[in-house]
Amino acid sequence: MYRDTQLFIAGEWVGGAAKRRLGVINPATEEPIGTVACAEVADLEMAVAAADGGFKKWSGMSAFDRSEIMLQAARLLKERAADIGRSLTLEQGKIRDEARFEPLRAAGELEWAAGEARRAYGRVIPARNPNATVLTTRNALGPVALFSPWNFPLNQLARKLAPALAAGCSVVAKAPEETPASPAALVQALHDAGLPPGVVNLVFGEPAHISDYLIKHPSIRKISFTGSVAVGKQLSALAGAHMKRSTMELGGHAPVIVCKDADVDLAVEQMARIKPFNCGQTCAAPNRLIIHEDLYDRFVTAFSSRFAKIRVGDGMSEDTQMGPLANIRRLKMMESFCADALRKGAKLTTGGQRIGNKGYYFQPTVVEEAPDDAMVRQIEAFGPLIVATRFRELDEAIAEANRLPYALACYAYTRSIATAKRLATSVECGNLIANDVVLALPELPFGGMKESGYGMEGGTEGIDAYLATRLLSFS
C-alpha cells in the first residue's frame, strides 16, 4: 500500500550512490511504513548536471508545448488522487478527505501555471531614438533548487514546481524526508506526462548538506524554501553570499481580529472549520484570537465548544475530523506550549493534553489569559492550539497583531468597510482577509513580510519569481 521512495535523477528512479535509506513513520501509529533513499554528493552532482541538460531542452521548447505536458500531468494527478491520498495519510497523518483533495489542489497549481506559461509577456517601450526598438523579454532563470516541507508534501512542492516549469526552468527539488511518497507521486505524474529527462530531479537526504551543496553550485540560479524562520534565515544568508535569488515562505502567527461589529456566528463557524485543517499545521492557520471585549465570552465559549468536539483519530478512518500531528517534534511543542502557558498563569479553556500514548494525537486546545511573554503568544503553534486575548479599542488590536516579527496572514471580522480598510492599511501582513478564509489558491499571490519571508507564490507573481527580465534595444 505504501511504496518506498527513490531519488529521481535524469528521468530515472535510483537508490543513491551509497544506497543509504531513512525510515518513514506513520504518525498515527508510530509504526515504520517504508523508507526513502538518501542523496550523496555524487547524486547531487548528477542531479545538477541533469538539470543543466534539462534546462537546455525545456527552455528551448515553446511555452505551448510545455503547458501541454503540465496539463497532462494535472490530469494524471486527478486520476490518481485516491491512491496518492492514501500514501499521504499514511506518511503525514492528515485525514482522508484532505489527503484526497491535496492532489487536486496540486493539479490546480499545474493548470494555473500552464496557462501563465503562455502569457509570460515582455513589453515594447517607446524609444527616445526614433530609429530604435526597445523591448523587454522575460526568460527562464535557469536550473533552480526547491525546498519543500512536510505539512502539504504534495501541494507545497507543486506551488514551487508548477511556476518554475511554466517559466521554462529546470529543477532540483529537495522534498521532505518524513513524507516522501506523495511528492514523488507528483514527479511521477510529470514524468508519465512526457516531461523530458533532467527537467525535474528529486532528492532526499540530509537537508543541510543538500541545501549547502545546491545553493553554492554555480548552475543553480534561484532557490525557493518553505519552512521555519530559523532555517529560512540560514538559507537566504547563504543565497545572498552567492548572489542567488530566493523566495522565502516562512512561518507566521496569524492574528484573527474580531471587531465589535463582527458577525460572531460567522467568525466562530469559519475559525472552528479551518483551525483543525491539517491538524493546525499550516503557516496561515488562525493562531491568535484578538476579540473585542463585548464579544469575547460569547466567541470563546462557542469556539471552544465546537473545537473540543472535533473527533481526533487515525486519518485513515472516514469519521475522523482531525488526524495526529505529523511528527514527534510537533507533539513535544504542543506540550511545551501548554506547560509554559500554565506556568505563566494562563488558563486552558479546553484541551492541553496528548491523547493516548501511541500516535502523535493532541487535544484541540484553547488558551486564555496568557501573558505577552508566553510561548503561545510569541511563536506559531503549528498545531491544534489557539490563544485568545481581548481588546477594547481597535488600536490595541492592531498593536497586538503587529507586536511580533511575523507578518504572513491576518483574518478580520467586521461589518464596516471603514474598519476593514483601516486594518488593511495598519496590520502588517502579506495577506489580509476579512469575513472569509479563502487563501493560497493557485491564482492568489501568497507571501509574507518581516520575518515571514519575501517573494510570493501563486498568482502572476508566482511565475515572475522564475523569470529574468532582459532589456533589448535595437537601432
Residues in contact with ligand NAD by CB under 6 A are 147, 149-151, 176, 207-208, 211, 226-228, 231, 234-235, 249-251, 283, 329, 380, 382
Shortest CB 296 distance to ligand NAD, Å = 27
Shortest CB 404 distance to ligand NAD, Å = 12
Helix (H) or strand (E) holding 413: strand 409-413
Cβ contacts of 144 within 8 Å, gap of 6 or more:
164, 169, 170, 171, 172, 220, 221, 222, 223, 224, 466
Shortest CB 330 distance to ligand NAD, Å = 7
Candidate list 169, 259, 279, 283, residue with the active-site label: 283
Please confirm, yes or no, whether 457 is among the known catalytic residues.
Answer: no
Rounded to 5°, angle at Cα 201 from 199 and 207: 145
Please confirm, yes or no, whether 249 is among the known catalytic residues.
Answer: yes
- Nearer to ligand NAD by Cβ, of 176 and 430: the residue is 176
| CA 280 to chain CA mean position, Å | 13
Shortest CB 329 distance to ligand NAD, Å = 5
Residue 283 CA to residue 260 CA, distance in Å, equals: 27
- Nearer to ligand NAD by Cβ, of 295 and 465: the residue is 465
Residue 31 CA to residue 125 CA, distance in Å, equals: 61
- Nearer to ligand NAD by Cβ, of 58 and 150: the residue is 150
Residue 171 gets which letter from DSSP?
E
Shortest CB 101 distance to ligand NAD, Å = 17
Taking residue 379's Cβ as centre, other Cβ atoms within 10 Å add up to: 17
- Nearer to ligand NAD by Cβ, of 331 and 397: the residue is 331
- Nearer to ligand NAD by Cβ, of 109 and 249: the residue is 249
Positive or negative torsion for Cα 356, 359, 360, 362: negative
Candidate list 249, 368, 428, 457, residue with the active-site label: 249
Shortest CB 180 distance to ligand NAD, Å = 11
Shortest CB 386 distance to ligand NAD, Å = 15
Cβ contacts of 103 within 8 Å, gap of 6 or more:
77, 78, 80, 81, 84, 85, 88, 154, 182, 185, 186
- b vs e for 288-317, b when ≥16 Cβ sit within 10 Å of the residue's Cβ? bbbbbeebbeebbebbbebbeebebbbbbe
- Nearer to ligand NAD by Cβ, of 96 and 159: the residue is 159
Q: Is 27 helix (H, G, I), strand (E, B) or coil?
A: coil
Residue 322 CA to residue 364 CA, distance in Å, equals: 9
Cβ contacts of 403 within 8 Å, gap of 6 or more:
372
Residue 361 CA to residue 385 CA, distance in Å, equals: 12
- Nearer to ligand NAD by Cβ, of 158 and 467: the residue is 158
The candidate with the shortest Cα–Cα distance to 98, out of 136, 155, 50, 159, is: 155
Strands in 260-375 per DSSP E: 286-292, 347-350, 365-368
| Residues assigned a catalytic role | 249, 283
